[in-house]
Chains A and B, each alone.
Chain A
């Protein structure tokens, strides 16, 4: 078994699959990272991703344009999280409960709409998938070329989003203000800057990223929408933000660790080793619990995470 897994071609294909599988989770996790840095705990990632995956499929199959699908997913994610933002930032409803409501909405609306829109919901038409986009020059490099530079466009977007989010959060003034919303919103408020406006922006960005992650599932991986296609990826994104200590680069590493597990699982099934496949499918969730147990503390968590800001006397 190990000899088979260590062959160069197999290693490359597992690593390439790792990067591919990481894409939707990484997009969602980076979005959630920004929202949580602004102090808002959005537990509705799973549902937002699901809605993004669905509208991406719907728009792409109706228009024939995959990029319109991507746009639809971005809009859907942003809209769903705008609703969430209004409920938790303006009305200050419990963030956990509201997030769950968004998940239930995503799961219910997509199944209903799927059955309403397609006569045979179990056999919906497939759409053409995004093709791989080898980057000229880089794609031919040994090892790293086939692993990183022969991916699809959205994967490059996800990978580039890591330094972009890092630069924004830690090297720009608006990024500093945004982190201030999560650490010490009062300081921002006293200076006359709106805490709510920044939190709205962070949450809507997070939702758009989750929607984009969902779009990858239908437009670059499965070619059709099936109910609950996200299958816990939104929740894994939340786990990854904790495991990644609320920092973009560790978040990338945590995502890759989870995805590697998933890629390995596919490979093991592919070469026909007799392990019950359910064990392999449950592995990421068990792994998540183990990782969190080893972390033990929530070091790096924004001080005001999950607590709605209320001005004194207001």
Chain B
């Protein structure tokens, strides 16, 4: 809209946006989002300052809560990386949600027969199984795109819905349901398959280190390898790739599989690091949150880690906030979306300036 909303004023796009302007926009977006959240606290009948204080205390108040924040951040690092890799190539993989399920299910499928075996066998099986499950499920969407021209946004969303019912079928009076159990879940997994805790007295587990390693590897992959170059080129200059004769079909399949592989790992960390059993509630929600994390992290691996820790803190702090102030912890899902919207708007708006036009057409 080149004619501005106010007569006499015009929104002019800037040719070159300085980084300071971008940073300022991001900061003001977060501030505005915080203000809006304050209004939501008021709407829920709580004192916004007390609620914010409870949120921070619940997230970082003690050593234990701080490590718990990292526990909550772990799956978000994986799903954030999954979205970041795909989005860098302008592949809109919205399916991290389903790929987390697929990773957890595949890991459980290959691991649950190994009960009693040594940890040195079970842990690699869990990790590789989760990677394979996520990668296969995402590659399915890749094939649907390359062979059948189905938009990956649509196919991944459909696959997200489908796999939730598949898991439910396996768990509710199905082959995986807990013997004699009433809930839709498996029995507890074998102790030898559990991701070990990093410190005594904390739930922080090996999965967090795996997540950091994954961030490092993705960073190297994107910046230092031929595949990384192709991913970036597909996102920024598809034409050049085609002229060069690179097969985009191959890149689509590889990137989807890689993205799914990362998402699948979140399934392993939640089932084998936190809940110790496979159930829908253990793996749901991380895929969609990962998209927000990826965008806030600027689609850069270390940015994703920071954003995931911020969101892990929100999730963790919200539980305490609900107990202390009565504000429903579901608020954080609204907060996530609000932060994303303001961030997007701030980012885009920093590329414009509002200017008084001398002559209005």
Contact = CB atoms under 8 A, between A and B. Distances in A.
Q: Do these two chains interact?
A: yes
Interface of A: 43, 83, 87, 89-93, 96-98, 100-105, 107-109, 111-116, 194, 196, 232, 235, 238-239, 242, 276, 278-279, 281-282, 285-286, 288-289, 292-293, 296-298, 311, 314
A115 B144 CA distance: 39
B154 interface: yes
A124 B167 CA distance: 28
A219 B358 CA distance: 52
B: contact size bracket: 35 or more
B345 interface: yes
B44 A239 contact: no
Most chain A CB inside 10 Å of its own CB: which residue of B3, B40, B43, B161: B161
A278 B177 CA distance: 15
A91 B352 contact: yes
Given A91-B352, A111-B333, A116 B158 contact: no
A226 to B, nearest CB: 13
A278 B165 CA distance: 5
B148 A293 contact: yes
Interface stretch (B108-116, B271-279, B335-343): B335-343
Nearest to A116: B44
A235 B341 CA distance: 20
Given A116-B328, A276-B169, A289-B144, A91 B150 contact: no
A104 B83 CA distance: 15
B94 interface: yes
A293 B158 CA distance: 13
Nearest to B150: A292
Interface string B312-338: 000000000000000110111111111
24 contacts: A43-B153, A87-B348, A98-B341, A102-B337, A104-B333, A104-B336, A105-B338, A116-B43, A116-B45, A194-B1, A194-B3, A238-B154, A239-B154, A276-B169, A278-B169, A279-B169, A285-B159, A286-B158, A292-B144, A292-B154, A292-B155, A293-B148, A311-B2, A314-B2
B333 A107 contact: yes
A112 B155 contact: no
Contacts of B327: 116
Given A87-B348, A90-B11, A96-B92, 8 more contacts: A97-B291, A109-B337, A116-B43, A196-B1, A278-B172, A296-B149, A298-B149, A298-B151
Given A115-B328, A239-B158, A101 B165 contact: no
B93 to A, nearest CB: 11
Contact of A297 (B149, B155, B340): B149
Contacts of A89: 1
Given A101-B340, A276-B169, A282-B161, A93 B328 contact: no
Contacts of B92: 96
A93 B155 contact: no
Nearest to A289: B158
The 5 closest A-B CB pairs, nearest first, are A108-B333, A108-B334, A115-B328, A105-B337, A104-B337
A100 B94 contact: yes
Interface in B137-157: 144, 148-151, 153-155, 157
Contacts of A83: 341
Given A89-B1, A279-B165, A112 B40 contact: yes
Contacts of A103: 288
Contacts of B334: 105, 108-109, 111-112
Nearest to B294: A97
B179 to A, nearest CB: 19
Contacts of B181: none
Contact of B154 (A104, A196, A235): A235
Interface in B53-101: 92, 94
A100 B289 CA distance: 11
Contacts of B24: none
A299 to B, nearest CB: 11
A87 B13 CA distance: 14
A278 B341 CA distance: 34
Nearest to A298: B149
A278 B345 contact: no
B95 to A, nearest CB: 12
B36 to A, nearest CB: 11
Contact of B348 (A93, A104, A113, A298): A93
B341 A282 contact: no
A292 B349 CA distance: 36
A279 to B, nearest CB: 7
Contacts of B157: 232, 235
Given A87-B344, A101-B344, A314-B2, A96 B338 contact: no
B240 interface: no
A98 B153 CA distance: 13
B166 A282 contact: yes
B292 interface: yes
Contacts of A93: 344-345, 347-348
Contacts of B292: 101, 104
A311 to B, nearest CB: 5
Given A115-B330, A293-B144, A100 B345 contact: no
A285 B158 contact: yes
Contacts of A101: 292, 337, 340-341, 344
Given A112-B331, A282-B161, A289 B337 contact: no
